[in-house]
Amino acid sequence: MTPGTAISFDQIVASEDKFQLATYKKMAIAAERGEGVWIYTSDGQKYLDLYGGHAVAGTGHCHPHVVKALQKQAEQLLFYSNLVYSETRARAAEKLVSVAPAQLSKVFFCNSGTEANENAMRMARMFTGRENIITFSGGFHGRTADAISATFLGKYREIGKPNVPGHLEAEFGNIESVNAVADESVAAIMLEPIQSMAGVRTAAPKFFRNLRDICAERGSVLIFDEVQTGIGRTGEWFFAGGPAADGVVPDIVSLAKALGSGVPVGACLVTDSIASTIKENDLGTTFGGGMFAMAAVTATLEAIEEDQMLENVRRVETHLRERLKEVEQVVSVKGRGFLLGLEFADKAATIHKGLLDRKIITGTASDPKVLRLLPPLCLGVDEVDLFVDALRSCF
């Protein structure tokens, strides 16, 4: 390929396939530009993005406030490590803590969701002096060694063999199954509050209250993996502390995806009591807390606030649910806010393809009957109408 010369879609595909490992099943489009809820492809087509680049584009693609902040930061300082103080990092940490439930008073920055979960589990083990972590069938926590060992979903633990010891499985939503394994060896109970990849599975608010009680009673740490549910996706800043959790705030919340609007960044929010046990060198990462990522965090949170995106999620979710009643093939609508699973009687893959043919990007799940929607938080009612009309035309 000659630098600076435009290449065709076929050439892009041939080149990616030749030089990259074949680890992903890709849609037959090449994303070139994004604006809000829209993606423009290399051949000039326009797609409605209801998948948000895998739940990452929370503020929408290339939100002007985020882009401006990143442009400014890029000209000022791209990176320096945690060995120096930084105004940009100070602002990001303060802003993130300010939108979190009051009990979560300190943050550790890293680079991805899996890394946030690794650090969350490590902190729980350090805090309790125990080894075992309970996670749930259907939960997904990432692909690094400890996180994949905590992932009792489909093939993942198998891929991660040999698994890290110290992982116990319980059934999501079933408190008796937790009771059966939550003994004095358990450092933490960790869960995706809404199991996205499994097919957008939810649990009753009482389940979270019961988990909180078990942890309090047995001296274990409660961790919410909010890599998908965090940063506004459910119509609240976090699932933690919200009505769907019966107001329960865990000891640690892990975050990534939408936190940097596309700039890779992960984080663990922790309580004072966990924070007080963490000493110098207990955790660390070169890139965590770098200035470019920190500028993205602050601008992301500001954009969500300024554009009142949380209110938008709640309003547009109501409209979407209402309109979906017109589609008789939709058996149920699962989830909350903009983390929704549309359940069909038949395979969702066919509908995914039908929608893609109609220039709408959606997601599938490990439950073959579920189509996932993880749109930017700025999705409006007009785009919802467009989607529902397209969905109806698929049948």
Q: Shortest approach of ligand PLP to residue 147 CB, angstroms?
A: 7
Rule CB under 6 A: say whether 141 interacts with ligand PLP: yes
Q: Shortest approach of ligand PLP to residue 75 CB, angstroms?
A: 27
Per CB under 6 A, which region of 31-39, 45-53, 222-230, 269-277 contacts ligand PLP? 222-230
Rule CB under 6 A: say whether 140 interacts with ligand PLP: yes
Contact present, 210 and 189 (Cβ < 8 Å): no
Check residue 331 and report its DSSP letter: E
Rule CB under 6 A: say whether 227 interacts with ligand PLP: yes
Rule CB under 6 A: say whether 114 interacts with ligand PLP: yes
Per CB under 6 A, which region of 61-69, 107-115, 316-324, 327-335 contacts ligand PLP? 107-115
C-alpha span between 36 and 60 (Å, rounded): 4
Rule CB under 6 A: say whether 256 interacts with ligand PLP: yes
Cα–Cα distances in Å, from 131 out to 44, 173, 362?
Answer: 53, 23, 39
- Exactly one of 118, 192, 343, 367 binds ligand PLP (CB under 6 A); which one? 192
Cα–Cα distances in Å, from 292 out to 15, 60, 70, 111?
Answer: 29, 18, 7, 12
Q: Give residue number: closest CB to ligand PLP.
A: 113
Question: Which two tokens mark 135?
Answer: 């996670």
The crossing angle, in degrees rounded to 10, of helices 64-76 and 291-306 is: 160
Rule CB under 6 A: say whether 59 interacts with ligand PLP: no
CA-based nearest residue to 126, from 281, 285, 266: 281
Pick the closer one to ligand PLP by CB: 146 or 225: 225
Cα–Cα distances in Å, from 262 out to 65, 258, 327?
Answer: 13, 7, 33
Rule CB under 6 A: say whether 234 interacts with ligand PLP: no
**Residue 200 contacts by C-beta under 8 Å, 6 or more apart in sequence?**
194, 334, 335, 339, 340, 341, 365, 370, 372
- Exactly one of 225, 236, 367, 383 binds ligand PLP (CB under 6 A); which one? 225
Rule CB under 6 A: say whether 255 interacts with ligand PLP: no
Per CB under 6 A, which region of 60-68, 126-134, 139-147, 341-349 contacts ligand PLP? 139-147
Rule CB under 6 A: say whether 233 interacts with ligand PLP: no
Residues at the interface with ligand PLP (CB under 6 A) = 112-114, 117, 140-142, 192, 196, 225, 227-228, 256
